[in-house]
Amino acid sequence: MKKPTTAIIVGAGHRGLCYAKLALSMPEKLKIVGVAEPDPVRRANAVKLFSIPEEGVFERSEELYDRPPLADMIINGTMDSLHVKTTIPLLKAGYHVLLEKPFAINEAEMWELYKANQRYQRHVNICHVLRYAPFYAAIKKKVMEGEIGDIINIQLTEHVSYHHLMAAFVRGKWGNQYVCGAPMLLAKCCHDMDLMMWLMDQDEPVQVASFGSDFQFAPEKTPPRAGTRCTVDCPIEAECPQSAKKYFLDYPERWKAYAWECLEYLGEPTLEDKIKSIATDNPYGLCAWKCNHDNVDHQSVLVNFASGATCSLNMIGGSPAGERKIHIIGTKGDIYGTFDTSKFVIRKIVQTYPQNFSSETVDVKETGDMTGLTGGHGGGDLRLALDYVNLLQGEKPSYSCTSLEDSIKSHLAVFCAEEARKESKVVSLRERFHMNQ
């Protein structure tokens, strides 16, 4: 029997731990032997959860760079702007890296990482977990099997609920693109762009156009008389739908990992702790228009492919419910589905007037779970970690497997979309891609 692959967690935050937990459900596949994490509470939590020996405990990724590798792979769960900075020296030190998305925050560092890995030749795979969600994996399989013929058009929609928008992209860690490094399209929808490029991998993306803005939270939308901290100095708090009290104190469990991150050191903070925090130094207590927010809340992207096929992605923040929809139209039929219900319908063109198609509804929940793995992103998080471990163990990876090279086009499409949106122009993705190859 093969020995388990060994891993070190770099950045033991929310995401780093979620992949590492494969070691708890499949100890025969993965063993966590180290952690590098500056936060003492998080570091201690990881040590306890995975029984990490003392020699595997580090305060920062930097301590791993100039010594022989202590494990086969790294799970890099640091924040967006640290991905490239931390990964290149880890590749140099001899590790394979499972790297969170977005794997780079701008085009220059994206190519820097790509070129560094051409030198080191490690397995760098990006955590595009939706490829592993049974819903999208089943759709991809139908496309690969030619069920709907050649793709003419794909319409992807991501609705980000009003409370998710507020917790992550207005008051949260991704609220200011200059602080976190990533515009909202990159932070939220590089997955969707990855799905588009994955489904279209027989074609070549050539041009990108995009529009979008901050419709709701731009400074000029600030309500007259708004205070700076909702529960402290705002005369309109009671009538304001964006009040921090309504989002975070009336529903303290919703998005608690983000809203109460600054109280993590308390273990289980009480409601009193939370009320005090919202009134003092918690960024989630700031007025939604005065919290250093600088990002769009909605954006549309249009991509033109070499074959003449076109694909669109609509990201809309602030909707009543979070929802991802997909509609693929091919020469022989179409596929229409909603990720959140895990159901899609396939209609095939048949000449049977008046109903010109035959249709089949696929309930992905009922097709059975091949791995028995459940959890975040429709089970995608742990399946992705398992596929990566299988790859390192010399097994054939699944068709969802995505290397750094595979992820270049989707990230590049996001960078081109941002340029297109900001400069009101159509950007040639093809040119950018070939310029750097």
CB of 90 to ligand NAD, least distance (A): 10
Mask for 6-35, x = binds ligand NAD (CB under 6 A):
----xxxxxx--------------------
Tell me the residue type at 323: E
Of the two residues 186 and 226, which places its CB atom closer to ligand NAD in the complex? 186
CB of 287 to ligand NAD, least distance (A): 24
Peptide bond into 354 cis (omega under 30): yes
Is 410 a binding residue for ligand NAD by CB under 6 A? The answer is no
Count residues contacting ligand NAD (CB under 6 A)?
A: 25
Of the two residues 309 and 417, which places its CB atom closer to ligand NAD in the complex? 417
> Which residue reads 């949260």 in tokens?
172
Triad 19, 327, 126: Cα angle to 5°: 25
Task: Indicate which single residue of 27, 38, 219, 235 sits in contact with ligand NAD (rule: CB under 6 A).
Answer: 38
Peptide bond into 102 cis (omega under 30): yes
Of the two residues 231 and 342, which places its CB atom closer to ligand NAD in the complex? 342
Residue 102, CA distances (Å) to 24, 29, 186 in order = 26, 26, 7
Sign of CA dihedral 348, 350, 354, 358: negative
Tokens encoding 232: 């402290």
Of the two residues 10 and 199, which places its CB atom closer to ligand NAD in the complex? 10
Contact 325, 338 (CB under 8 A): yes
Of the two residues 77 and 333, which places its CB atom closer to ligand NAD in the complex? 77
Of the two residues 20 and 364, which places its CB atom closer to ligand NAD in the complex? 20
Which of these, 315, 374, 378, 333, lies nearest to 138 by C-alpha position? 378
Is 42 a binding residue for ligand NAD by CB under 6 A? The answer is yes
Give dist(CA 80, CA 409) in Å, integer: 18
CB of 42 to ligand NAD, least distance (A): 5
Tokens encoding 198: 């994955």
Give dist(CA 321, CA 308) in Å, integer: 33
Mask for 178-217, x = binds ligand NAD (CB under 6 A):
---------x------------------------------
Phi, psi of 243 (to 5 degrees): -55, 135
Give dist(CA 12, CA 405) in Å, integer: 26
Of residues 73 through 112, those in contact with ligand NAD by CB under 6 A are 77-80, 82, 86, 100-101
Give dist(CA 266, CA 259) in Å, integer: 14
CB of 20 to ligand NAD, least distance (A): 11
Of the two residues 78 and 210, which places its CB atom closer to ligand NAD in the complex? 78
Stretch that binds ligand NAD, among 26-34, 36-44, 201-209, 304-312 (CB under 6 A): 36-44
The size of the chain, in residues, is: 437
CB of 96 to ligand NAD, least distance (A): 17
Give dist(CA 428, CA 271) in Å, integer: 52
Phi, psi of 218 (to 5 degrees): -65, 150
Of residues 119 through 138, those in contact with ligand NAD by CB under 6 A are 127, 129
The HSE-up count of residue 307 (CA atoms within 13 Å, CB side) is 14
Of the two residues 169 and 305, which places its CB atom closer to ligand NAD in the complex? 169
Task: Indicate which single residue of 5, 6, 61, 207 sits in contact with ligand NAD (rule: CB under 6 A).
Answer: 61
Stretch that binds ligand NAD, among 4-12, 19-27, 223-231, 406-414 (CB under 6 A): 4-12
Tokens encoding 99: 């790297």
Contact 342, 144 (CB under 8 A): no
Please tell me the chain's helix, strand, coil percentages from 3-state DSSP, rounded to the nearest 5: 40, 25, 35
Is 36 a binding residue for ligand NAD by CB under 6 A? The answer is yes
Of residues 232 through 291, those in contact with ligand NAD by CB under 6 A are none
Is 175 a binding residue for ligand NAD by CB under 6 A? The answer is no
What are 338's strand-pairing partners?
325, 343
> Which residue reads 């939370």 in tokens?
274
Of the two residues 82 and 232, which places its CB atom closer to ligand NAD in the complex? 82
Q: Which residue is nearest to ligand NAD (CB)?
A: 13
CB of 74 to ligand NAD, least distance (A): 10
Of the two residues 186 and 309, which places its CB atom closer to ligand NAD in the complex? 186
Triad 260, 261, 265: Cα angle to 5°: 100
CB of 391 to ligand NAD, least distance (A): 18
Of the two residues 40 and 223, which places its CB atom closer to ligand NAD in the complex? 40
What are 110's strand-pairing partners?
none
Of residues 318 through 377, those in contact with ligand NAD by CB under 6 A are 377
Residues that bind ligand NAD (CB under 6 A): 10-15, 36-39, 42, 60-61, 77-80, 82, 86, 100-101, 127, 129, 187, 377
